[in-house]
Amino acid sequence: MSETTRKFFDALERHGHERVLKKTNGTIRFDLEHDQEVDHWFVEIRGGAVRVSQRDGDADAVIRTDRAFFDRMVRGEAKPLPAWIRNEITSEGKFRFIVLLERLFAPPPGARHPRDLVRDRGGRG
Amino acid sequence: MKTDLVRILDGNIFVLSDGSGDLEAKPTVPCGFYSYDTRFLSLWRLTLNGERLSPLARDDPSYFEVRFFLVPGEPTHYVDAKVSVIRERSVAGSFEEQLTVLNHSREPAEITVHVEADSDFMPLIVAAQGRTPKGRLYRRVENGRLHLGYQRDAFRRETVISSTTEPAQVDERGLTYQIRIEPHGQWTTTLHVRGLVLRPDGEDVREHLHPGRRRRDRFRLERNLQQWLGTAPQLNCDWEPLERTYRQCLVDLAALGYSPLTLPAEALPAAGLPWSATLAGREPIFASLQALPFAPDLARAALHMLGIDQGAVLDDFRDEEPGKILREFRYGELVAFEERPQAPYYGAADVTPLYVVLLDEYERWTGDADTVREFEDEARAALHWIDEYGDIMGDGYVWYQRRNEQTGLENQCWKESRGFLWSLGVAPAAIPAELHAQAGLYRSILAERRMLILLDNCRDWDQIRHLLPGTGGSLVIATSRRRITGVAGQAGAHPLHLDLLTHAEARELLTRRLGDEAAADPAAVDEIIARCGRLPLALALVATRSVGRPGLSLPAVAGELAEADGRLAGFGDTHADLEAIFSWSYRALTPEQPGSSGCCPCTRAGS
């Protein structure tokens, strides 16, 4: 099991409620492929609170990708929605949970606060 | 640029053809069958015995259906036509065409009917520029169906063409029928063209979304339309044109309805038809705001959808920040491979504040406070965005500065001169880059129309001269806070200078707004009039603000204005609108003379 993946799901259980809206409810199962195996991660969101387990159960959305690509999304190096459009991740179920992924992963490395950009340029760009 | 293309559409699926129903895409003529931001047919050409067809007439029963009445050969020959063709086309989830060939003569007719088909799978956003494909195009015939496809890595789009009612000879270039029609007889076939968005396993991605897109055909679309018209408020009037106009507005709103994959059962207004039939931010907010008295569900769907896509992190490529409302979403190849940022793109200064405005107005029109509570988190995140990420200069204003300098949008809203062409229906990619070419295109479009163009708050003649139509029946009203030099000499221009109010008029304005209070204290009124420089706008704003603050005496208002000393932030609370409106006017004033005339040139084109 990838260390990046495990750390991500640990942190998601503890801090997920800070990223998803209070009214969010539903289940997502991640099927992460590697070396002819599939790891399952089952994420349950109730009233914005997140619980994570490794059971292989039915979910509102099932998201399948390979583990290395999943880790790139975790690190913010790749984005879920364009990846879904080019079939780097595939899905079954409710599309809104693919959109929800956008809230869960880290920002891209090197992303700037708009104010810092303006300050670095010394005023209006 | 050909502007007489025939268009039918269903959400982000549409067909643009020439007057005979053929599609022959060129960069200057972006014909095609488009779906999910991709062109699935770039060639669709019908011939009878090798001869092209000419249109006799056309019928447009609805926005998703069209009927072409055609005859072989050049238009001048059709009086002698022994054969004619009816081409009935609909787009409802997919593209369907029923061909009927009629033999009007007393002899049997032997005819070769040929439909030539091809696709370049051009991404919609570059349809009018052309582009060398980065992936592989393929074509094959399988089980009597023609498959045209495009593959780039795991990204795959495929067009499947089938003919349901009659056996056809199908090869990689199209479909051919050898038919014999009896005297005064007819022959019919139905062609079906599906645009597939495929996964690596060959399944359409949309078949794996649950709940999926609702099954669509033209009967369902027609029923939905009747339902939609039945739900809207009824308008009865003894002046029939008004009833008809109202009904057409509702039909147009229905045509604009777009159900994103995320919310397949809800429809919000798309940004525009057909090129912007996609999820956007600004356009659905404005459209649903304007439709609130008639169809408030549009606003609810817009709030719901835009809330789901609300920005969550800092992302320079997308110009995304937490709480920001998106500008545009696209599904095409360029977006998939992140050559363009629209999945989704967030670069916009106004959309996030507009989201909050829409939520507020929705409650005012519907009284549905539960919805406001439902979107509380989204509204709070949007308000936080305004303070934290919108106000980048730290001066209390929302500014725009893109971080994606390669493919992000440089300009916003009122700065988008291209927006004029866009709003006149020109495909975004067909808009020339060079300003003079844009002006030429703009004038040639306006030459055929009668329009009233309002250019508000102009800076100088240079700014507006490109936006004046050349000939035709359009009228332009340009307003400015400054006297625009260069207008007087222009043919057809009528400068109209609006002077300051006289002291008596200013007094009357304040008395009318403030009533007894103003009459009771002439000295304070004189002071306010002087401080406002007899500017009607300034006087009106001061009156409005004073009425809104009960218990405040007129001498106190005059005192505050005096202390503010022209810096109007000092008056009352530092209301942004008030300050902004004042500052525009005040910047135009000289220090000695707080007051100068406005200028309002009017010009009439051509006539």
Q: How far is A69 from chain B (nearest CA, A)?
A: 14
Confidence class of residue B433 from pLDDT cuts 50, 70 and 90?
A: low
What backbone torsions phi and psi does residue B70 show, to the nearest 5 degrees?
-130, 155
Tell me the DSSP string of chain A: --HHHHHHHHHHHHHHHHHS-TT--EEEEEEEEETTEEEEEEEEEETTEEEEE------SEEEEEEHHHHHHHHTTSS-HHHHHHTTSSEEEE-THHHHHHHHHSPPPTT---HHHHHHHTTS--
Q: Rounded to whole angstroms, how far apart are CA atoms B506 and B278?
A: 50
Confidence class of residue B591 from pLDDT cuts 50, 70 and 90?
A: very low
Residues B36 and B127 in one domain: yes
CA A117 vs CA A111, A123, B270: distances in Å: 10, 9, 32
Mean pLDDT, to the nearest integer, of B380-403?
93
Report CB contact under 8 Å: A112, B316: yes
Domain that holds residue B268: 256-390
B561's tokens: 């204005």
Average pLDDT, chain B: 85
pLDDT digits (tens, 9 = 90+) for B82-127: 999 999 999 988 999 999 999 999 999 999 999 999 999 999 988 8
Report CB contact under 8 Å: B261, A108: no
The chain B residues in contact with chain A (CB within 8 A) are 152-156, 199-200, 205, 208-211, 261-263, 307-309, 312-317, 321, 331, 335-338, 343-344, 374, 377-378, 389, 392-394, 399, 401, 403
pLDDT digits (tens, 9 = 90+) for B12-57: 899 999 999 999 998 888 899 999 999 999 999 999 999 999 998 9
Least confident interval from A84-98, B124-138, B371-385, B437-451: B437-451
Q: Rounded to whole angstroms, how far apart are CA atoms B76 and A83?
A: 54
Cα atoms found within 13 Å of the Cα of residue B357, Cβ hemisphere only: 16
A5's tokens: 């993946």
Whether pLDDT at B537 is above 70 = yes
Q: Is residue B217 part of a domain?
A: no
Q: Is residue B40 part of a domain?
A: yes
The pLDDT assigned to B36 comes to: 92
Q: Which residues of A touch B399 (CB under 8 A)?
A: 118, 124
Question: Quick one: CA torsion of B492, B495, B496, B500, rounded to 10 degrees?
Answer: 180
B378's tokens: 């989204």
Residues B384 and B430 in one domain: no
Mean pLDDT, to the nearest integer, of B178-200?
95
Residues B514 and B455 in one domain: no
The pLDDT assigned to B583 comes to: 54
Mutation target among A28, A31, A102, A120 for the B interface, most CBs of B within 10 A: A102
Mean pLDDT, to the nearest integer, of B295-303?
96
Cα atoms found within 13 Å of the Cα of residue B103, Cβ hemisphere only: 17
Identify which of B318, B234, B355, B278 has the alpha carbon closest to the alpha carbon of residue B37. B278
Report the residue from B308, B343, B393 with minimal CB separation from A118: B393
Q: How many domains does chain B have?
A: 4
pLDDT digits (tens, 9 = 90+) for B302-334: 999 999 999 999 999 999 999 999 999 999 999
Closest chain B residue to A123, measured at CA: B393
Q: Which residues of B touch A106 (CB under 8 A)?
A: 313
Q: Rounded to whole angstroms, how far apart are CA atoms B229 and B241?
A: 17
Q: Is residue B246 part of a domain?
A: no
pLDDT digits (tens, 9 = 90+) for A31-46: 999 999 999 999 999 9
Q: Is residue B62 part of a domain?
A: yes
Residues B186 and B320 in one domain: no
Q: Is residue B223 part of a domain?
A: no
B465's tokens: 């001269």
Do residues B10 and B96 touch, judged by C-beta distance below 8 A?
Answer: no
Residues B471 and B516 in one domain: no
Query: Strands A61-66, A26-34: parallel, antiparallel or unpaired by DSSP?
Result: parallel
Q: How many percent of chain B have pLDDT more than 70? A: 85
The pLDDT assigned to B550 comes to: 64
Q: Which residues of A touch B155 (CB under 8 A)?
A: 85-87
pLDDT digits (tens, 9 = 90+) for A54-104: 999 999 999 999 999 999 999 999 999 999 999 999 999 999 999 999 999
Report CB contact under 8 Å: B312, A111: no
The pLDDT assigned to B125 comes to: 87
pLDDT digits (tens, 9 = 90+) for B480-500: 877 777 776 676 788 888 788
Mean pLDDT, to the nearest integer, of B230-242?
93
Q: Is residue B219 part of a domain?
A: no
CATH number at residue B204: 2.70.98.40
Report the residue from A81, A95, A105 with minimal CB separation from B343: A81
Whether pLDDT at B418 is above 70 = no
Residues B203 and B103 in one domain: yes
SS3 call for B33: strand
Residue B502 DSSP one-character state:
P
Residues B339 and B372 in one domain: yes
Place of tokens 């029609």: B181
What backbone torsions phi and psi does residue A109 show, to the nearest 5 degrees?
-60, 135
Residues B323 and B379 in one domain: yes
Residues B94 and B133 in one domain: yes
Residues B65 and B174 in one domain: yes
Q: Rounded to whole angstroms, how far apart are CA atoms B495 and B505?
A: 23
Q: How far is A111 from chain B (nearest CA, A)?
A: 5
Report CB contact under 8 Å: B392, A81: no
Confidence class of residue B4 from pLDDT cuts 50, 70 and 90?
A: confident
Mean pLDDT, to the nearest integer, of B383-390?
96
Place of tokens 């707080």: B594
Do residues B542 and B528 touch, judged by C-beta distance below 8 A?
Answer: yes
Whether pLDDT at B606 is above 60 = no
Least confident interval from B37-51, B360-374, B535-549: B535-549
- List strand residue ranges (DSSP E) for B447-572, in order: 452-455, 475-478, 493-498
Q: Is residue B266 part of a domain?
A: yes
Closest chain B residue to A100, measured at CA: B308
The pLDDT assigned to A96 comes to: 93
Residues B172 and B319 in one domain: no
The pLDDT assigned to A78 comes to: 97
Whether pLDDT at B544 is above 90 = no
CA B515 vs CA B139, B176, B522, B543, B548: distances in Å: 80, 83, 12, 10, 14
Question: Quick one: CA torsion of B170, B171, B176, B177, rounded to 10 degrees?
Answer: -40
Q: Rounded to whole angstroms, how far apart are CA atoms B572 and B536?
A: 19
Mean pLDDT, to the nearest integer, of B450-473?
77
Report CB contact under 8 Å: A86, B393: no
Q: How many percent of chain B have pLDDT more than 90? A: 53
Q: What is the pTM of this model?
A: 0.75
The pLDDT assigned to B542 comes to: 81
Residues B278 and B155 in one domain: no
Beta bridge partners of B494: B602
Q: Is residue B250 part of a domain?
A: no
The pLDDT assigned to B151 comes to: 97
pLDDT digits (tens, 9 = 90+) for B105-115: 999 999 999 99
Read off the amino acid at residue B137. L
The pLDDT assigned to B112 comes to: 96
**Hey, is the C-beta of A21 within 8 angstroms of any chain B C-beta?**
yes
B568's tokens: 């109007």
Whether pLDDT at B592 is above 50 = no
Q: How far is A54 from chain B (nearest CA, A)?
A: 23
